Structure formats: C-alpha cells, structure tokens
C-alpha cells in the first residue's frame, strides 16, 4: 500500500500481489505478510483450494492463515458470492513479486492451529431488507475486525464495533479505530443517513491517490478509496 498517501491505497502496479506487513510494531504477535492472490501465485491452485483458504483459513499446503484474514466472516457469506470472488481473482493481472514469509511468535503460532472452521454459508439477503443486508455487508467488509478493541494476540476484548483497536503505524503514529456503534457521544448516534453516505462518498479513489501525507503525520488504514466506489 502507498504508505505516504492518505488512506494508503494499493500500489497500482502490484494490486493483489501481497507484501503488506502487519508487524510486531503495530502490536501483532509477529510479522504477518499479506500473500499474492493473483495468478502469479495461484495459477496451480484449484478453485476448491482457493475457496478453502478464503472461507476456512487453510492454505494449499495445510498451513493455517493468521486470522487477520477474516475467513471466519467470509465463511458465513453466500457461496455464490465467494465463487464470484474467485472468478474475479482469476482474471486479474498477474503479479510476480517476492513476498517475505509470515513469522508468527510463540505461543500464538500454536493457538492459531485451532482457528480454522468449516464454513456456514448463508444466502445473501434481499437488499430491500436493509437491516439483514446491512449485516451481510458489514461481515463482507470486515468492519468489526478493525473497529473492535483487541489484545496483543489479536483476540477481540472489547464490545463489537466500539473501536479502540490500536496500531502503531509506519512513521510511528498511533492509529486508534473509531466507535461506529450508535452511541450519541462517542459513536455515530447523531449521524444522519445522509451524513454517513456523504462521509464515504466525499472523495473518489483518484482523490486519495493524490493526497500525500508527510512522514510522521497521522494517516489511516481505513480503505476510504475502496468504499468510495460502492
């Protein structure tokens, strides 16, 4: 990701090519490196093997993925939606680049062996049922993963969506996630629907790619550049 741009959009020439490091300095139990998910790495994988990694957290070689990859959430989505994700990854531009291995500290390296679960696919709700469909979209976007306070092992220890998850980011500034529950004082309880939508639509992806952030100045990992297109 472009760490010197606001919202850290992905490097255009290496999209889906992996290499972003969720590091010990950020409070993680090791250095967790995102993998290449283009045909540069997945060409020999079957669709079933890709499916298992996405929804169960098990790589082709049997290695368990660190659950910063939200496979628990993806395993509750509609099977057809996951098939569509795989189809899309198959036609993305191939990226071939070296990606360092993930290093997970003991004892977390043992604990995560119990993380994989069988998927429990659900039918995607009708968009007209805005609450059910909203819940589905929140799970698909992984909102709770960042907007829930977590301990040093990456386990959730705070109320869902109440924020407070702290990450020390490149440049040594502290990124603390926001409360997105409907609390009137600390959350979004006073936001109107129009204000919520406007916050997501206030800038285009191109805008974020033209917003430099000086070294050491606050930035965010919130992918506004992606959500602005929804």
163, 145, 170, 165: which is closest to 68 by C-alpha? 145
Write out the two tokens for 161: 């969506």
Give mean pLDDT, residues 141-164. 89
In whole angstroms, what is the distance from residue 102 CA to residue 33 CA? 5
In whole angstroms, what is the distance from residue 226 CA to residue 30 CA? 27
Could you tell me which residues are beta bridge partners of residue 212? 5
Q: Is 209 left (phi over 0), alpha (psi -120 to 50) or beta?
A: alpha
pLDDT over 80 (residue 175): yes
The pLDDT value recorded for residue 25 is: 84
Write out the two tokens for 202: 């206030």
In whole angstroms, what is the distance from residue 138 CA to residue 72 CA? 13
Could you tell me which residues are beta bridge partners of residue 156? 150
The pLDDT value recorded for residue 167 is: 85
CA distances from 1 to 135, 163, 184 (A): 28, 23, 34
Give mean pLDDT, residues 157-162. 94
Residue 129, number of CB atoms within 10 A of its CB: 11
The pLDDT value recorded for residue 172 is: 73
More confidently predicted of 48 and 173: 48
Per-residue confidence band for 30, with pLDDT thresholds at 50, 70 and 90: very high
Per-residue confidence band for 177, with pLDDT thresholds at 50, 70 and 90: very high
- pLDDT tens readout for residues 89-117: 999 999 998 899 999 999 999 999 999 99
* DSSP-derived secondary structure letter, 212: B
User: Is the peptide bond preceding residue 185 cis, with omega within 30 degrees of 0?
Assistant: no
Per-residue confidence band for 151, with pLDDT thresholds at 50, 70 and 90: confident
* DSSP-derived secondary structure letter, 149: -
Dihedral sign for Cα atoms in the order 169, 65, 102, 20: negative
Q: Quote the Cα angle for 198-69-76, to 5°.
A: 80
Give mean pLDDT, residues 67-79. 95
Residues of 202-221 as b/e, b for ≥16 C-beta within 10 angstroms? ebeeeebbebebeeeeebeb
Per-residue confidence band for 41, with pLDDT thresholds at 50, 70 and 90: very high
Helix, strand and coil in the chain, % to nearest 5? 35, 10, 55
Per-residue confidence band for 153, with pLDDT thresholds at 50, 70 and 90: low
CA distances from 10 to 14, 89, 111, 184 (A): 7, 16, 31, 34
């Amino acid at each position: 990701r472009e760490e010197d741009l606001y919202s850290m959009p992905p490097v255009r020439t290496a999209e889906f090519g992996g290499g972003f490091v969720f590091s010990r300095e950020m409070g993680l139990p090791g250095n967790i490196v995102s993998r290449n998910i283009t045909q540069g790495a997945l060409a020999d994988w079957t669709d079933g093997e890709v499916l298992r990694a996405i929804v169960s957290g098990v790589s082709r070689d049997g290695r368990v993925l660190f659950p910063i990859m939200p496979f628990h959430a993806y395993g509750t989505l509609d099977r057809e939606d996951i098939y569509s994700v795989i189809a899309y990854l198959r036609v993305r531009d191939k990226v071939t680049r070296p990606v360092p291995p993930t290093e997970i500290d003991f004892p977390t390296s043992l604990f995560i062996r119990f993380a994989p679960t069988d998927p429990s696919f659900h039918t995607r709700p009708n968009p007209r049922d805005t609450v059910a469909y909203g819940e589905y979209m929140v799970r698909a976007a992984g909102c709770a993963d960042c907007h829930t306070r977590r301990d040093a092992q990456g386990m959730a220890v705070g109320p869902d969506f109440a924020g407070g998850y702290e990450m020390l980011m490149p440049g040594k500034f502290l990124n603390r996630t926001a409360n997105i529950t409907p609390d009137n004082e600390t959350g979004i309880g006073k936001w109107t629907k129009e204000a919520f939508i406007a916050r997501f639509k206030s800038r285009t992806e191109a805008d974020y790619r033209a917003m430099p952030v000086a070294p050491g100045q606050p930035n965010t990992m919130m992918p506004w550049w992606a959500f602005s297109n929804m």
